[in-house]
A and B are shown apart, each in its own frame.
Chain A
Amino acid sequence: EAQLVESGGGLVQPGRSRRLSCAASGFTFDDYAMHWVRQVTGKGLEWVSGISWNSGSIAYADSVKGRFTISRDNAKNSLYLQMDSLRVEDTALYYCAKGIWNDIYYYDLDVWGQGTTVTVSS
């Protein structure tokens, strides 16, 4: 069974950095694009970033462009999100999600983790 487990969340001060990780299992990780989606408590879903199977295609939401960096290590079946210059408004539950095929333009997200919470506060 395909599974995604996020980690790395926690309390961080504004302006500081945090790195999220997502460990994948139960499927051939390097066959699929991966995405990060976040959700503020009580609010809707916001797509953050996506990366293709070979890291050849990467895209970001305007709200995080220039501050966040998505990456993956196919040898480790892992997805990452490096978050720099964090802002209070980045506070959210961050989900890792699997696309249904290898490019980010296959944006149907068919497997989701349970999320990791990032709280940006002084």
Chain B
Amino acid sequence: QSVLTQPPSASGTPGQRVTISCSGSRSKIARNSVNWYQQLPGTAPKLLIFSNNQRPSGVPDRFAGSRSGTSASLAISGLQSADEADYYCATWDDSLNGVVFGGGTQLTVL
């Protein structure tokens, strides 16, 4: 069981906006920033969002991250078939002294 909780699946139709949540305890998400990774089928993960809401160069602004209290969210607008992937949130756990990942959310574009 992951320290960060994500829904196992999410779905949407092309052009729609979908949101993926990531919840944790006060000792985790509330204290440290959250990152999001996208893992396309058969490929290595890719950093999608860092420091809660920052996009690395090359990531389209259709992807937006936010954090509030002990929860974080990834919003994907203008959904495309190419967005079908697994999405993971991650943060630093002070008590474990290490990085913790959410269990991942499989996004399906219908």
Interface residues of A (CB under 8 A from B): 35, 37, 44-47, 50, 59-62, 95, 97, 100, 105, 107-110, 112-115
11 extra A-B contacts, CB within 8 A, seeds A45-B88, A109-B37: A37-B45, A44-B2, A46-B101, A47-B98, A61-B96, A100-B50, A107-B91, A107-B99, A109-B47, A110-B56, A114-B44
**Across the interface, do A44 and B50 meet the contact criterion of CB distance under 8 Å?**
no
Tell me the dominant secondary structure on chain A's binding face.
strand
Please report the C-alpha to C-alpha distance between residue A60 and residue B97 in the assembled complex, in whole angstroms.
Answer: 8
- Judging by beta carbons under 8 Å apart, are B98 and A60 in contact? yes
> A47 and B101: CB pair below 8 A?
yes
- B109 is an interface residue with CB less than 8 A from chain A: no
B96 to A95, Cβ gap below 8 A?
A: no
With most chain A CB atoms within 10 A of its CB, the pick from B35, B88, B98 is B98
Cβ-defined contact, B104 with A45, below 8 A: yes
Complex alpha-carbon distance, A50 and B35, angstroms: 16
Known A-B contacts A95-B45, A110-B47, A112-B45; the reply to A44 vs B103 at CB < 8 A is: yes
Chain B interface residues (CB < 8 Å from chain A) = 2, 35, 37, 39, 43-47, 50-51, 56, 86, 88, 90-92, 96-104
A45 to B101, CA, bound (A): 6
Pick from B35, B44, B86: contact of A108, CB below 8 A: B35
B39: nearest chain-A partner, CB-CB: A45
User: In the complex, are the beta carbons of A45 and B45 less than 8 A apart?
Assistant: yes
- B35 to A115, Cβ gap below 8 A? no
Least CB distance, A101 to chain B, in whole angstroms: 11
The answer to whether B92 and A105 have CB atoms under 8 Å apart is yes
Nearest-Cβ distance from residue A61 to partner chain B, whole angstroms: 6
Is the Cβ of A95 less than 8 Å from the Cβ of B88? no
Assess whether A50 is in contact with B45, with CB atoms less than 8 Å apart: no
CA distance A122 to B56 in the complex (A): 43
* Shortest Cβ distance from residue A38 to the other chain B in the assembled complex, whole angstroms: 11
CB nearest neighbor in B for A98:
B47
